[in-house]
Amino acid sequence: MKLLLCDVGNTSYHIADAKSTYKKAVSAFNPASITEKIYYSCVNQAVLKVLQSLDNWINIADYVDKTQYYASMGIDRICAVQALENAVVVDAGSAITVDVVRENQFEGGFISPGIEAMRQTYKNISPALDYSFNFDLDLAIMPKNSQDAISYGFLKTLYSEVMSQNLPIVLTGGNAKELQKIFKNATVNEHLIFDGMKQIIKKAQLC
């Protein structure tokens, strides 16, 4: 399939053409500059309004069987889940969404703040908590320094919850590689949402 695909998040357009994928900042990119047919998933409400006014931009959300999901669930999460049969999907961007798929059924999911958002949060609480996270943290030991104390508070709690599902872990999103330092046996798939979009397009016989 030679498809033009786009996943729009809170901060960027992530575009896949036949040859490569690339990102454009939401603040700087004009979607009308693309004149070919392009399928998109979009969780950014402001951008969504613009895309809906462009005839060649086709909303993948209109072709998903939503019965097993919930009304306010981001279409990016639905696409990622559609791409897998048995997995915990951890999509690490401005938020970290964690979704559980077992035997093709979506079981539910939760949302943590993203790495940068959490760093800002700790920093805003107190200058004494202004550290970057230690991804080499030993998760088996209760911390005895400030950097590890915030790293553990963010990463260990996320780690334990994801691991408790006893499923293969698939990491995607802009911060997937950072999280792989914690989830050492996880697979990184930076094109998971595009994989899901392709499946939805195929199932709906759109091309």
The residues binding a second copy (CB under 8 A) are 10, 43, 45, 69-70, 72-74, 94-98, 100, 107-114, 117-118, 120-122, 124-129, 141-146, 148-150, 152-154, 156-158, 160-161, 164
CB distance 25 to 58 below 8 Å: no
Helix boundaries (H) for the chain = 45-52, 75-82, 115-125, 146-151, 157-163, 176-180, 192-203
Q: Smallest distance, Å, CB 68 to a second copy?
A: 9
| Nearest-angstrom CA–CA distance, 80 and 11 | 18
Minimum CB separation from a second copy for residue 9, in Å? 9
Read off the tokens for 36: 């070919």
CA 180 – CA 120 distance, rounded (Å): 21
Beta-strand relationship, 169-172 and 87-92: parallel
Residues with a catalytic annotation lie at 76
DSSP string covering 114-157: -HHHHHHHHHHH-GGG-----TT--TTS---SHHHHHHIIIIIH
Q: How far is the CB of 11 from a second copy (least distance, A)?
A: 10
Smallest gap from Cβ 35 to a second copy, in A, equals: 29
Neighbour-count burial of 31, counting CB atoms closer than 10 A to its CB (0-12 exposed, 13-18 middle, 19+ buried): buried
| Cβ-contact 89, 99 below 8 angstroms | yes
Residues 18, 82, 46: CA angle, nearest 5 degrees: 70
* CB of 157 vs a second copy, minimal distance in Å: 4
